[in-house]
Amino acid sequence: MGALFMFLLKETSRNGYNNDRRDAVFAKNYFRHFKMELPHPDTIDDVLRVLLPGQIEAIKAQLVSKLFEQKLLRELRFLGKYYFVAVDATGFHTFDHKHCEHCLTKTSKNGVTTWFHYVLEAKLVTSSGLAISIASEFIENSSGRDFEKQDCEQKAFVRLAAKIKQFFPRLPICILADGLYPNKNVFSICRQNNWGFIITLKDGNLRTFHQEVELLKGIQKEREVYRANTTTRTKLIYKYLNDIEYEGHNYSWVWCEETTTRLSDKREDKQRFVYITNIKQSSNIVVSTADGGRLRWKIENEGFNTQKNQGYQLEHKFSRTSYTAMQNYYQLLQVAHMINQFVEKSTQVVKLMGEHSKQTIMALWKDLVTYLKSIPYTMQQLMGFLSG
Ligand SMILES: [Zn+2]
């Protein structure tokens, strides 16, 4: 609860957390709301060094399961069926020395060796901007050999997929992933688990698949869509092909070209997106398929970037030596970020943000800590305090 609270309040360090918890009014307010006292950061660390990381992850999965059970996110499903789950890895700690037995390591051309930690994440992503961790798999070195991102991320994906299936056995999932993922192994895992997928296709990927797409160019189906807002006009061309064979199975190909014109100076910006999917395409669903594929970005922006730069300090070394504690802080950060995302999208906070055009979420959270350090208010007075 102490570590969770540190992340919920975006304290950014154990020291900041400790200074706040020692504030008499803060402690009183915390007790008033939670009927508990906040522990010393060293006590938190002692517990997180011995707790099995799987236990906190199981709690995270239970919380996420509740969201599905309560049908809170049903409206955001793809084709009225699938939840989008983006999969991607990110580095979160780097050291100039060997930090633990599981560090990954790399030696650069000029002989400098670094040790680091990567995690492979599966996050539920929505068009409304949520990025919620449903499972995490640490990419860890057990062989002592040099780390190669592709090998290790691919191996971790096998373990991550098993974990997702274990936590959410019947959840209809559509996997979104980048150009590292179009391969036989990933396709077969998705097929075995009954998952859909929309995976970015790069030029180098799946040569024979590309060749067949090339041969069938003449029969591609096409659809055009126009979108406009006050500053830009966008033209989108969607193309698709079905029943393209690759290694004994059939897949669909989706292509999208987006041309955005800025109304002020007529400047044009062109982007192209290509996907392979196991969801059979038609002109009715090609737009939502390509738009869904593009939601993959949310794991990087709303996910990793927010956790690194918006108060959660994903890269901060909360535990300098313990690999177990490091994983536990990571899992608790994921839980806190999920809770905060719902708070940030609540009507009250959205209203507060709308009232002040220059208000930031970070500043609002600072005000929240200030509130907890001043005299106890009622909930209604708190909202007045934050908007004033
Ligand atoms: Zn390490």
Residue 142 CA to ligand 1 centre (angstroms): 11
For residue 305, pLDDT over 60 is answered with yes
Residue 95 CA to ligand 1 centre (angstroms): 8
Residue 118 CA to ligand 1 centre (angstroms): 10
Q: Which amino acid would we find at residue 176?
A: L
pLDDT at residue 161 in the model: 98
d(CA 103, CA 230) in angstroms, rounded, equals 49
Instruction: Judge contact between 315 and 92, C-beta under 8 A.
Output: yes
Structure tokens at 349: 């906070």
Instruction: Judge contact between 255 and 240, C-beta under 8 A.
Output: yes
Residue 102 CA to ligand 1 centre (angstroms): 5
3-state secondary structure of 82: strand
Percent of the chain with pLDDT over 70: 96
Residue 323 CA to ligand 1 centre (angstroms): 6
Residue 273 CA to ligand 1 centre (angstroms): 36
Residue 96 CA to ligand 1 centre (angstroms): 11
Residue 229 CA to ligand 1 centre (angstroms): 48
- Strand-pair category, 196-200 with 173-177: parallel
Q: Tokens 């313990």 sit at which residue?
A: 322
3-state secondary structure of 49: helix
Exposure class string for 183-217: b at 16+ Cβ within 10 A, else e: beebbebbeebebbbbbbbeeebbeebbebbeeee
Residue 99 CA to ligand 1 centre (angstroms): 4
pLDDT at residue 284 in the model: 95
**DSSP β-bridge partners for residue 131:** 125
For residue 74, pLDDT over 70 is answered with yes
pLDDT at residue 203 in the model: 84
Residue 269 CA to ligand 1 centre (angstroms): 43
Residue 222 CA to ligand 1 centre (angstroms): 50
Rg (CA), the chain: 23
**Mean of the pLDDT values across residues 143-151?**
50
Q: What secondary structure does DSSP assign to 372-386, as a single string?
A: HTSS---HHHHHHHH
Residue 117 CA to ligand 1 centre (angstroms): 6
For residue 311, pLDDT over 90 is answered with no
Residue 384 CA to ligand 1 centre (angstroms): 46
d(CA 87, CA 191) in angstroms, rounded, equals 16
Instruction: Judge contact between 61 and 134, C-beta under 8 A.
Output: yes
Structure tokens at 40: 């010393």
HSE-up of residue 293 (Cα within 13 Å, Cβ side): 26
For residue 206, pLDDT over 50 is answered with yes
Residue 114 CA to ligand 1 centre (angstroms): 11
Residue 287 CA to ligand 1 centre (angstroms): 43
Residue 106 CA to ligand 1 centre (angstroms): 13
Angle between helices 361-372 and 347-355 (to 10 degrees): 110
Q: Which tens digit of pLDDT belongs to each residue from 8-66?
A: 999 878 888 999 999 988 988 888 888 889 999 999 999 999 999 899 999 999 999 99
Mean pLDDT taken over the chain: 90
Q: What is the DSSP letter of 74?
A: G
Q: Tokens 């069926």 sit at which residue?
A: 81
**DSSP β-bridge partners for residue 116:** 94, 104
pLDDT at residue 145 in the model: 53
Residue 101 CA to ligand 1 centre (angstroms): 6
Instruction: Judge contact between 261 and 233, C-beta under 8 A.
Output: yes
Most confident range (mean pLDDT) of 108-122, 161-175, 349-363 is 161-175
pLDDT at residue 85 in the model: 98
Structure tokens at 122: 């599966």
Percent of the chain with pLDDT over 90: 67
Q: Tokens 């975006």 sit at which residue?
A: 10
pLDDT at residue 150 in the model: 43
pLDDT at residue 38 in the model: 92
For residue 378, CA distances in Å to 29, 30, 342, 382 come to: 11, 13, 21, 6
In degrees, rounded to 5, the angle at the alpha carbon of residue 232 between the alpha carbons of residues 229 and 237 is 95
pLDDT at residue 149 in the model: 47
Residue 243 CA to ligand 1 centre (angstroms): 45
Tell me the residue ranges of DSSP E strands in the chain: 83-95, 104-107, 113-125, 131-139, 173-177, 196-200, 221-228, 232-246, 249-262, 268-277
Q: Which tens digit of pLDDT belongs to each residue from 218-271?
A: 889 999 999 999 999 999 999 999 999 999 999 999 999 999 999 999 999 999
Residue 141 CA to ligand 1 centre (angstroms): 9
Residue 326 CA to ligand 1 centre (angstroms): 9
d(CA 129, CA 303) in angstroms, rounded, equals 10
HSE-up of residue 203 (Cα within 13 Å, Cβ side): 1
Higher pLDDT, 337 or 363: 337
Residue 144 CA to ligand 1 centre (angstroms): 12
